[in-house]
Amino acid sequence: MNLDEVICYCQNVTSGMIKSAVDNGATTLAEVQKITGAGTVCGSCIDNVQRLIEQFTAEH
């Protein structure tokens, strides 16, 4: 996976930033939103953010 890929364009959040939020203990969309800001503006990236959270959580 490309960890530099931008997932949330509104907040310029990459998949790597979502990964580090999960690595730091975030397990839910709300927690990742709070830490990274991803998905808090237009919301169009939320499905992708959620999918990555599930993927990174499964790696733990």
Q: Which of 17, 26, 32, 45 binds ligand FES (CB under 6 A)?
A: 45
Q: Which of 1, 3, 30, 41 binds ligand FES (CB under 6 A)?
A: 41
Q: Which of 5, 28, 30, 43 binds ligand FES (CB under 6 A)?
A: 43
Interface with ligand FES: number of residues (CB under 6 A):
12
Tell me which DSSP letter residue 26 carries. Answer: -
Nearest to 10 by CA among 40, 34, 30: 40
Decide: residue 42, CB within 10 A, 0-12 exposed, 13-18 middle, 19+ buried: exposed
Residues that bind ligand FES (CB under 6 A): 8-11, 38-45
